[in-house]
Structure 1
Amino acid sequence: MELFSNTFRDLENALDYSSMRQKVISQNIANVDTPNYKAKNVTTSSFKEALQASMDSYRTDQRHLKFSTKINGSAIVTQQNVTYNNNGNSVDIDKEMTALATNQIYYNAVTERLSGKFSSLQNVIRGGK
């Protein structure tokens, strides 16, 4: 049952990441016209490495394919030396809208996977009926 609880923990971490990324993107979009506002981003950090190590622990044979993750981190950083507008603002609205759509797709995939895990657990509890 440890494998099952690790999966839930990993999915929970993925939802936390997506939530953090949603907040950062929303802040950037909300401040698109704010003078001297510097865009924030979620960085690549130890979160990716920790998740990858957790996913690799599921491999039971070295011949099995490695899980790959496209998660980019859990630390929020401000882009200091970038300016897109004359007023010192560094928010690129096209980039932010693309990131917003990408994050929404990621969130939907994670919630769908989590729902599938709960359905499997419910099926086991019911005895396969």
Structure 2
Amino acid sequence: MGLLNSVSFQRLQGGIDAAYKRQNALANNVANQDTPNFKRSDVSFESILQQQESGIQSTLRAKVSDTRHYQFGSNTIVPAAVENTDETTSMNNNDNNVDVDREMALSAENQLRYSSYVEQINSQISMMRAVIQGG
């Protein structure tokens, strides 16, 4: 297993990919704010990952009674980001449901998430570099 193939790196990469997809969806929402019958989209990743971690989507897991036992059945697969379209609401008379203020707030939140993911990856790489270089 490579140094950058750990589950934590895969999750951070999944988060970065989700933030990228979410930014595209939010930009598309803002661009179509006046388009009749347009329905906004958003991307889910963190909630899916949280459900996976809490065991809601769990599979059969092995009971480990000794540290030398291999754990199998645990879910180490990082879920993919899922784009959802909100078809149920309508904000304007033209059946469009884009609220520009909300989209801009979500965009700022997404930027903070993206920055924190990149910062965490940089921190882990710095720690690995320090270990490898011995300092």
2:43 corresponds to 1:42: yes
Query: Structure 2 length normalisation: TM-score?
Result: 0.70
Q: 1:22 to 1:51 in 2, by over 3 A?
A: farther
| Structure 1 vs Structure 2 CA RMSD | 2.5
2:114 corresponds to 1:112: no
Aligned residues: 109
The one-letter amino acid of 2:23's match is Q
Alignment of structure 1 residues 15-94 onto 2, 5 Å: 15-43=16-44, 46-50=48-52, 74-94=81-101
Tell me which residue corresponds to 1:62: none
Question: In proportion to residue count, which structure has more helix?
Answer: 1
Runs of at least 5 residues in structure 2 that lack an aligned partner in the other structure: 56-79
Runs of at least 5 residues in structure 1 that lack an aligned partner in the other structure: 54-72
Structure showing greater radius of gyration is 2
Percentage identity across paired residues of the two chains = 35
**d(CA) in 1 for partners of 2:36 and 2:3?**
49
Deviates more, 1:88-97 or 1:5-14: 5-14
The one-letter amino acid of 1:12's match is Q
**d(CA) in 1 for partners of 2:30 and 2:95?**
15
The one-letter amino acid of 2:120's match is R
Q: 1:117 to 1:52 in 2, by over 3 A?
A: farther
